[in-house]
Structures are given as C-alpha cells and as structure tokens.
Amino acid sequence: MKKKSLITIIIIAVVVLAIYLWIKGSYNGCVSRQEIVEAQWAQVENVYQRRADLIPNLVATVKGYAEHEQNTLTAVIEARAKATSITVDPSELDPKDIAKFQAAQDQLSGALSRLLVTIERYPDLKANKNFLELQSQLEGTENRIAVERQKFNDRASEYNQFIRMFPRNIIANMFDFEKVGYFKAQAGSEAAPKVEF
C-alpha cells in the first residue's frame, strides 16, 4: 500500500510541476513580448518627438522668407501642438488610442506637406543652407517614422498572435493580457495620386 501511495504522490507532484512550469513559461512569454511591444512603441514616440522638435526651427526659418504664408505656418504650429499633446499609455495600446494618435500625427504630416509645397514659391529660401539642412533632417525623420511604425506593427503582430494561440490564450486571459492595436494606412492611400500636366 505504501508503494502505491508513493507512486501516486510522485505522479501528482510531476503533474503539478508540469502545470506550474507551463503556466510560468506562458506567463513569462506574454510579459516578454508585451515589454518588446512597449519598447517599440517608445521608439515610435521617439521618432515622432524628433520630428516635433525640428518643426519650430523649420517654421522660424520659413517665417523670415515667407511672411505672408502665416496661415500655413499657423496650421503647422497648431498641428504640432495637437500631435504632441496626445499621448498613449504604452501599457494599454488600445486600437482606438493608436488611431487617435495616428490621426493627430497625420494632420501634422499634412500641414508640413502644405508648408513644403508653398516653399516652392521662394527660391531664396530653397537655397538657404539652414532650410536645406532642416528639410533633409525632416525627410530622414519621416523615413525613420515609417520604419519604426512598421517595426511596431511587426512586434504587435507577434505579441497578438502569441497571446491568442491556444492554450496560451487561457493564461493571457487569466492575467489580462490584451491585444494591442496597429498603425494603419491613411484613408485613401490605396488610390494612386492623380497627376495632371
């Protein structure tokens, strides 16, 4: 009788240990992937902040040459203020919050595009060394933004898949690991721009 009891205790201990190790591994995997997503979100915010930091210098440089473009300059300043005022909690990357953040950033991108188009009318400004350097830095930053947004979407996809796969989804639900949102293309970006000569 003692031998059967000992075997039963060992089997129960092995099963309990296996369940514990599975729960621990699943939970730690969720935490690890969530931290990667949050770190990537911080990098996205970092490159957007870089762009926001360049804008005052760009506006100041343009202001000296294109004083009667005040409406365009004001739109850029207001869009920058709105874009920098919207923050998203990295621990809760809700799709609605990301969409709101993205909309503000898209508005700033649009205002910057309009500003750069109006600059075409000012040959002296286009030849200004400070302006050319700022424009180059801004273009580089826009490229960085695109790269970091793609990396964020990749990390978010990996995390979302990880927490939704069975049986890890049980652990993810028990510990409130939530699906995170993605950056999406601007509405209408799927249509090719119309070019007329």
In a domain, 189, yes or no: no
Q: Residue 117 has what pLDDT?
A: 82
143 backbone dihedrals φ, ψ, rounded to 5°: -65, -40
Q: Is residue 157 included in any domain, yes or no?
A: yes
CB 75 within 8 A of CB 138: no
Q: What local confidence, expressed as pLDDT, does residue 38 receive?
A: 94
Of the two residues 74 and 194, the one the predictor is more confident about is: 74
pLDDT band (50, 70, 90) for residue 95: confident
Is residue 160 included in any domain, yes or no?
yes
Q: Does residue 68 register a pLDDT over 70?
A: no
CB 54 within 8 A of CB 137: yes
CATH number for position 49? 1.20.1440.20
pLDDT at 113 over 60: yes
Residue 90's pLDDT band (cuts 50, 70, 90): confident
The dihedral through the CA atoms of 109, 115, 120, 123 has a sign that is: negative
- State whether residue 166 is helix, strand or coil: coil
Domain span holding position 22: 2-174
Considering the chain, what is the average pLDDT of its residues?
86
Domain annotation covers residue 179: no
Does residue 185 fall inside a structural domain?
Answer: no
Q: Is the pLDDT of residue 190 over 80?
A: no
Q: Which two tokens stand for residue 120?
A: 């075409």
Give the per-residue pLDDT at 62.
82
Q: What is the pLDDT of residue 151?
A: 96
- 98 found inside a domain: yes
Backbone torsion region of residue 188, taken as left when φ is above 0, otherwise alpha when ψ lies between -120 and 50, otherwise beta: left
Number of structural domains the chain divides into: 1
The answer to whether position 190 is within a domain reads no
Predicted pLDDT at 186: 66
* Residues in Cβ contact with 90 at an 8 Å cutoff, skipping those fewer than 6 apart: 37, 38, 41, 42
Give domain status of residue 170, yes or no: yes
Whether residue 70 has pLDDT greater than 80: no
Residue indicated by tokens 């770190």 = 39
Residues in CB range of 119: below 8 A, 6 or more apart: 62, 66, 125, 126, 131
The answer on pLDDT for 78 being more than 70 is yes
Mean pLDDT of 10-23: 95
Q: What integer pLDDT is reported at residue 156 of this predicted model?
A: 95
Which tokens sit at 99? 């969409």
Q: How far is CA 45 from CA 76, 114, 149, 189, in A?
A: 19, 23, 10, 23
Q: How confident is the model at residue 192 (pLDDT cuts 50, 70, 90)?
A: very low
Q: Is the pTM of this model over 0.85?
A: no
